[in-house]
C-alpha cells in the first residue's frame, strides 16, 4: 500500500527524535543530577515509543510538530523506567555501556531517575492542546501500569510457578502498556477522539504483548547473527519467560524436576545450562507455543487496527513498523 504523501517513515521519525534529543540542553548544575540523564538518553535505543507517538499523531494530521516534545517526554519516561529497573535488577550493562548505578552509584541513579521522570512531565507539558488533561491522564495511567508490571515481575522472580494468565498480564503492564499509551497519546495530540484513540491503545497493547512474546522466543531460539543480544540470556538469568511458564505447565513430573534443578543452578557451565534448558523446551514444544501465541496477539492487533477510522494509505507506515517489529528475526 502506497503511503499518503504527508506521512513519515519510521526512519524519518527516528531521525527527527534523535535530532531533537541532541538539541536539548539537559546538563546543568548539579551535574550529578543531570549528567546521568543525558548519559541515559544519548546511549541510543531504537526510539520506538516516541516514533509510535509521532506515527499515531501522523494518522490524523500532517503537522506532527506539536507531538514532538511529548514524544520526547515518552522516551525520557521509558529511559527513566530502565534506569530504576536496572538498580532493582542489579543490571550492570545497558546498551553496551555501564548502567547509571554502576557508573555512578545507586543514590545517583535513584535521584537522577526521579529528576528524569519530572523531565518527562515537563516535555509532555509542552503540549498546549484543548485535551491536555486527557493526554496527561493517559500518561499517568500508563506510567502506573508500567510500575505495576515491574512489581509483578519482581514478585514472580521468587514464585516457583507462574500461570500463563498472570504472565501475560505482567508483560502487558510492563511492556505493552507503554507501547499502547504512546499510540493513544499520539492519536489524542493528532486530533483523534477518545474512542478512536482507545482503538490505537488496543492495537498497541496486543502488538506489545506479541512483541514481548517474540522477544522471549528469540532470546532462546533466535539467530545470534541477526538477534541483537546473545542467545540464552534469559535462561542464564533464570527469567520466567513465556517459554518457562509453558514448560512448567506442560512438563511431566520428571521434566519438572529436571527444569527445577536447572533453574538457579550456578555451578553448571553456562553453555551447558542453555543447551539443557533449550533441549527441554524443544521436547515440550514450548518454542512453537510461544510463537503461536505471539502470532495470535499480532492478529488481534491487526483486527484492532481495522477498526481505526483512517484510510489504508494513512495506516501504511504504522502497519509496516508493526510488521518489522514482529518479523525482526525468525
Q: Give least dist CB 119 to a copy of itself, A.
A: 8
Which one of 146-154, 194-202, 242-250, 264-272 is the stretch in contact with a copy of itself (CB under 8 A)? 146-154
Any contact of residue 44 with a copy of itself (CB under 8 A)? no
What is the smallest separation between the CB atom of 38 and a copy of itself, expressed in angstroms? Answer: 15
Query: For residues 84 and 198, which CB has a smaller minimum distance to a copy of itself in the complex?
Result: 84
Which one, of 200, 85, 185, lies nearest residue 132 by Cα? 185
Q: Is 91 an interacting residue with respect to a copy of itself (CB under 8 A)?
A: no
> Applying CB under 8 A, does 128 fall inside the site for a copy of itself?
yes
Q: Round to whole Å and give the CA distance between 173 and 261.
A: 30
Q: Does 255 sit near a copy of itself (CB under 8 A)?
A: no
| Residue 104 Cα distances to 40, 74, 100, 127, 219, angstroms | 12, 24, 6, 33, 29
Count Cβ atoms below 10 Å from residue 127 Cβ, excluding itself: 19
Q: CA–CA separation, 242 vs 204, rounded Å? A: 19
Select the residue interacting with a copy of itself from 71, 87, 286, 301 (CB under 8 A): 87
- Binder to a copy of itself among 110, 262, 316, 319 (CB under 8 A)? 110
> Is 152 a binder of a copy of itself (CB under 8 A)?
yes
Q: Residue 173 or 322: which CB sits closer to a copy of itself?
A: 173
Q: Give yes or no for residue 104 binding a copy of itself (CB under 8 A).
A: no
User: How buried is residue 279: exposed, middle or buried, by Cβ count under 10 Å (0-12/13-18/19+)?
Assistant: exposed
Judge contact between 281 and 247, C-beta under 8 A: yes
Task: Pick from 21, 69, 91, 125 the residue near a copy of itself by CB under 8 A.
Answer: 125
Instruction: Tell me the C-alpha to C-alpha distance, in Å, between residue 171 and each of 11, 60, 89, 123.
Output: 27, 29, 16, 26
By CB under 8 A, name the one of 69, 91, 132, 302 that touches a copy of itself: 132
Cβ proximity to a copy of itself: between 137 and 282 the closer is: 137
Does residue 227 touch a copy of itself according to CB under 8 A?
Answer: no
Q: Which x/- pattern, by CB under 8 A, does the window 22-41 give for a copy of itself?
A: -------xx-xx--------
137 sits near a copy of itself (criterion: CB under 8 A) = yes
Does 151 interact with a copy of itself (rule: CB under 8 A)? yes
Q: How far is the CB of 151 from a copy of itself (least distance, A)?
A: 4
CA dihedral sign of residues 69, 17, 47, 42: negative
Rg (CA), the chain: 20
Residue tagged 494518522 (cell numbers): 59
d(CA 57, CA 207): 18
Residue 118 within binding range of a copy of itself, rule CB under 8 A: yes
Half-sphere exposure of 239 (CA within 13 A, CB side): 19
Q: What is the dihedral of CA 178, 184, 186, 190, to 10 degrees?
A: 180
CB of 149 to a copy of itself, least distance (A): 9
CB of 81 to a copy of itself, least distance (A): 8
Binding residue for a copy of itself (CB under 8 A) from 107, 230, 271, 324?
A: 107
At a CB cut-off of 8 Å and minimum separation 6, what does 66 contact? Answer: 57, 127, 128, 129, 189
Shortest Cβ 181–a copy of itself spacing (Å): 12
CB count in 10 Å sphere of residue 192: 25
Name the site residues for a copy of itself (rule: CB under 8 A): 29-30, 32-33, 84, 87-88, 106-107, 110-111, 113-115, 117-119, 121-122, 125, 128, 132-133, 136-137, 140, 143-144, 147-148, 150-152, 154-155
Amino acid at each position: 500500500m502506497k503511503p499518503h504523501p504527508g506521512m513519515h517513515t519510521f526512519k524519518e521519525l527516528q531521525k527527527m527524535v534523535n535530532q531533537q534529543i541532541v538539541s536539548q540542553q539537559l546538563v546543568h548544575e548539579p551535574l550529578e543530577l543531570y549528567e546521568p540523564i543525558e548519559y541515559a538518553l544519548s546511549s541510543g535505543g531504537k526510539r520506538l515509543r516516541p516514533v509510535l507517538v509521532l506515527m499515531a499523531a501522523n494518522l490524523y494530521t500532517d503537522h506532527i510538530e506539536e507531538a514532538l516534545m511529548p514524544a520526547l517526554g515518552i522516551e525520557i519516561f521509558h529511559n527513566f523506567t530502565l534506569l530504576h529497573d536496572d538498580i532493582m535488577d542489579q543490571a550492570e550493562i545497558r546498551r553496551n555501556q555501564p548502567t547509571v548505578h554502576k557508573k555512578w552509584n545507586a543514590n545517583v541513579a535513584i535521584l537522577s531517575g526521579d529528576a528524569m521522570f519530572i523531565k518527562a512531565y515537563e516535555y509532555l507539558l509542552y503540549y498546549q492542546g484543548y485535551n491536555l488533561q486527557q493526554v496527561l491522564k493517559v500518561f499517568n495511567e500508563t506510567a502506573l501500569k508500567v510500575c505495576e508490571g515491574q512489581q509483578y515481575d519482581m514478585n514472580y522472580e521468587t514464585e516457583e510457578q507462574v500461570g500463563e494468565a498472570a504472565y501475560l498480564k505482567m508483560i502487558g503492564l510492563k511492556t505493552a502498556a507503554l507501547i499502547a499509551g504512546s499510540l493513544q497519546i499520539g492519536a489524542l495530540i493528532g486530533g483523534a477522539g477518545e474512542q478512536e484513540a482507545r482503538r490505537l491503545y488496543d492495537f498497541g497493547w496486543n502488538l506489545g504483548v506479541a512483541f514481548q512474546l517474540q522477544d522471549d522466543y528469540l532470546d532462546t531460539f533466535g539467530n545470534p547473527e541477526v538477534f541483537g543480544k546473545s542467545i540464552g540470556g534469559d535462561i542464564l538469568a533464570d527469567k520466567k519467560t513465556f517459554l518457562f511458564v509453558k514448560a512448567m505447565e506442560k512438563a511431566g513430573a520428571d521434566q519438572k524436576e529436571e527444569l527445577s534443578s536447572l533453574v538457579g543452578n550456578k555451578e553448571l557451565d553456562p553453555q551447558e545450562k542453555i543447551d539443557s534448558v533449550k533441549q527441554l523446551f524443544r521436547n515440550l514444544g514450548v518454542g512453537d507455543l510461544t510463537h503461536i501465541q505471539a502470532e495470535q496477539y499480532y492478529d488481534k492487533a491487526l483486527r484492532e487496527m481495522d477498526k481505526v477510522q483512517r484510510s489504508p494509505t494513512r495506516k501504511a507506515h504504522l502497519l509496516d513498523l508493526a510488521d518489522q517489529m514482529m518479523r525482526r528475526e525468525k
